[in-house]
Structure 1
Amino acid sequence: MADAEKSEIPPEGWPRCEPEQVQVMLLGTYHMDNPGLDEVNVDADDVLTDERQAQLEDLTERLADWKPDRIAVERPYDNVAAVNSLYERYRTGEYAYDREETFPAPHPMRDDDESECRSEVVQIGFRLADRLNHSHVVPIDEHPDEPDDDPFADREIDSTRKTSVALPDPEERQREISRRLVSTPIPEYLAWKNQESQLRYNHDLMFDRGIRATKETLGTPTFLAYWYDRNIRMAHHLWRTMEHGDERMLLVVGTGHIRVLRHLLDETPMCCPVSPLPYL
């Protein structure tokens, strides 16, 4: 299918792009190195196996067909030098995508040196940029300081539900995504993860808890605001890292970010969020 045919009708929930807008493809993915930092964490198998490496090569070829001008990754904007120092080692062949490499992770919440080589930043972001012969990648993440005081912490809060809503059970959800991952090639698994019904999952839980103020993870309006603060900063850094003449950027990011980033970029007149589904 030609590029124009793939992008002619956006998938459900995605806007039509205007010619003058910079298109930003939001590729939602799982964390391949098992950092355990999400609300629901997938038990990922080793992406360094021959089978998974072949699937990642297939994914890279599919995404390369979109011809992005720049690859953005979920690593701190301030760590651009460290991130690109690692990228250069992969680009020159000093490090190999299918080999375990040991180096410090340029991530504020990670202190292990063995798993970063398995991360989606390396396995998808670096590999795709390398395939497209990009000189560098652009890290766009930022973790703002968490609030010292939550004004909801000492309030008398009624966190009960006042209407019946159907929400997935997190433990059952974790079992489902783990079952799917172990039996599904990576491109097809990411196609499932990026469907509209799946993208709703994290936000359903966050807003159910946050609006009711349950005091669980992201469970008050304060921490919902923190989550949006982080994503607004990510959208800002996407803009900062664009260069004159860029028409297409691709962001490799955890699936939980997709709905909020899509909304923020859709509200940003110079950008247009794009689904990866036609290429998966």
Structure 2
Amino acid sequence: MPLLKNILLINLLVYFFFSSVGFSQHKTNVVLIGVYHFNNPGFDEGKMKDRNILSDENQQGLSRITDKLIKKYHPDKVFVEYDAAKNNMLNGMYALYQKGKPFYRADTLNAFYKRFYSENETFQLGFRLANKAGNDRIYAMDYDEVPIRFDLIKAKLQEKGVFTFADYQHKIAELEVFMNACLSKPKLEDVLLGLNSPEQYKLNKGLYISFLNRVNPATDFFGSDLVANWYKRNLIMYANIQNQTAEQDKNIVIIVGAGHAAMMEDFIKADTRFNLVKLDGVL
């Protein structure tokens, strides 16, 4: 009998020990939203059609999308593709937005930045969602200081000769055709569902793995270096998300370019702290 009591006591102590050090089965739900850049800056290799996010139809779409996100996975935190080093500045703008005040001065900006602050997804989707959720902060996670030398691809292809620059352009065109077909859909929900489909993720990752990684003259391993730097940028962005997510966060939303989302899907699936929520389960 004393032996049984001792065993029960030991089991009880083990239970309380693991409870006290945070041993938990809880995982944070992560809603991953890959988007096209609403202000269409034209910086990506694939060139997207313009779609006016300020139109009544798209504004209604944003309202529906954010309402659905709030209803199904009310976010504790919203992460956006904005320079993580400027998180405080971003939240200064967000505080003005919450109060219904202008958060930028259009009369002081050139045409590019007027479009950026009025149309970019950070503000149109991120600010709107975080505000509807009653969040007192929004979370920047971008890092764009890793050199990715797309400008050297033509010369490297001529040097290596595995395939031609025309082959590369054809690969980019494949992605453009798919992305622009998504952008042509009438409802904004369907645009985002297309951009977050397995087909888009495969095309996007395939450009790096099945194509660019082979542009690899042995003297400098250009292709592998470019692909590694693309992974590095995304891993740093992802670390910025990981390190701003607390155990008590039940749901978070990540709003990021569709190319980044293709990478982050794999990271989230491999992360024991997170449970990936696909967008087609929300919209």
Counterpart of 2:141 in structure 1 is: 140
Displacement after TM superposition at 1:144 (Å): 3.1
Aligned residues: 247
Any runs of at least 4 consecutive aligned residues in structure 1 with deviations exceeding 4 A, and if so which? 152-156
Counterpart residue identity of residue 274, structure 1:
V
Displacement after TM superposition at 1:251 (Å): 0.3
Retained in 2: the 8 A contact 1:74–1:140? yes
Higher gyration radius (CA): 2
Mapped to 1, the partners of 2:65 and 2:216 lie a distance apart of: 39
Mapped to 2, the partners of 1:102 and 1:83 lie a distance apart of: 17
Q: Describe how 1:104-253 pairs up with structure 2 within 5 A.
A: 112-116=112-116, 117-146=118-147, 157-160=160-163, 169-171=171-173, 173-213=175-215, 220-253=223-256
Counterpart of 2:276 in structure 1 is: 273
Mapped to 2, the partners of 1:168 and 1:19 lie a distance apart of: 46
Mapped to 1, the partners of 2:242 and 2:108 lie a distance apart of: 27
Distance 1:72 1:127, change over 3 A: same
Q: Deviations over 1:138-165 (max 9, x none)?
A: 00111233279x9x9699635239xxx9
Counterpart residue identity of residue 238, structure 2:
A
Counterpart of 2:87 in structure 1 is: 80
Mapped to 1, the partners of 2:226 and 2:185 lie a distance apart of: 35
Counterpart residue identity of residue 213, structure 2:
I
Mapped to 2, the partners of 1:124 and 1:154 lie a distance apart of: 39
The DSSP-based 3-state class of the residue aligned with 2:193 is: helix
Structure 1 runs not aligned, ≥5 long? 1-17
Structure-2-length-normalised TM-score: 0.76
**Higher helix proportion:** 2
Structure 2 runs not aligned, ≥5 long? 1-23
Structure 1 residue 47 corresponds to structure 2 residue 84 = no
The answer to which of 257-266 and 189-198 deviates more is 257-266
Q: Deviations over 1:76-121 (max 9, x none)?
A: 111101111121222111139xxx963889xxxx993211220111
